[in-house]
Amino acid sequence: MCTKERLFQYGVGVFLALFFAVILGTLVGWVPRLTNAIYPVVKAISTVPPLIYTSYIVLIMPTFFLASLTVVFLSVFWGSFMGSINNTAFVEKKVINSAKVLNMKTLPMLFKIIIPFNLPRIINNLPINLATALMTLTAAEMIGASSGMGYYVRVALTYANYTKAIAGIIFIGLVVSLLNIIIGALKKEFVTWEY
């Protein structure tokens, strides 16, 4: 699999993780009982570095495609899920009261008021999530792939070709920097509010 396809796979994993984390986190954060029951568990799970379970996931998955998708998904999901619970549980009461005055039902309020209100925080956390996901994907490639940047760096180090290894590391750094620039541009374009 070439780097372009791997980046597409990475993008799919990140998108799915963010989608489910924001939707489920918003729903859990909205209901105080769910927040109290689920938040401590999520907080404990999200502190486990994704690199710890990366090798295990690569070993148990039937294909590397599924393994890498799972690794990227999990490395983004838990932190984003916890953040979405926090963001929703601690939304200012005046925002909720204003929506209630307009007689908004719960689901429209969550999707039209709460999620957009939390969007700046979600986007602010993206650079860390993307860097973590790319790090775990690279580690997964070093362990069990036959292509990709992690594989490229591992092979270069195995044959003591340090120039290629450093080039691979620099390329990974450039990809993360480019992703951060894209996120910054998207935030300026689509999120014009801040609090």
pLDDT per residue over 42-87, tens digit each? 888 888 888 888 888 888 888 888 888 898 899 899 888 988 998 8
What's the longest Cα–Cα distance across the chain? 68
In the CATH scheme, what is the code of domain 3-190?
1.10.3720.10
> Residue 119 corresponds to which tokens in the numbers above?
């969007």
Checking if the pLDDT of 36 tops 70, the result is yes
Predicted local confidence at residue 22, as pLDDT: 92
Predicted local confidence at residue 111, as pLDDT: 86
pLDDT category, 3, cuts 50, 70, 90? low
Residue 156 CB partners (closer than 8 Å, separation 6+): 162, 163, 164, 165, 168
Rg of the chain over all Cα atoms, to the nearest angstrom:
19
Share of the chain above pLDDT 70, in %: 96
Average pLDDT value for the chain: 84
pLDDT digits (tens, 9 = 90+) for 121-130: 888 888 888 8
Average pLDDT over residues 100-123: 84
Q: Would you list the domain boundaries of the chain?
A: 3-190
Are the beta carbons of 91 and 117 closer than 8 angstroms?
Answer: yes
Predicted local confidence at residue 175, as pLDDT: 83
Checking if the pLDDT of 21 tops 70, the result is yes
Checking if the pLDDT of 24 tops 90, the result is yes
Checking if the pLDDT of 192 tops 80, the result is no
> Rounded to an integer, what distance in angstroms lies between the CA atom of residue 74 and that of residue 85?
16
Checking if the pLDDT of 31 tops 80, the result is yes
For 29, phi then psi, to 5°, come to -70, -25
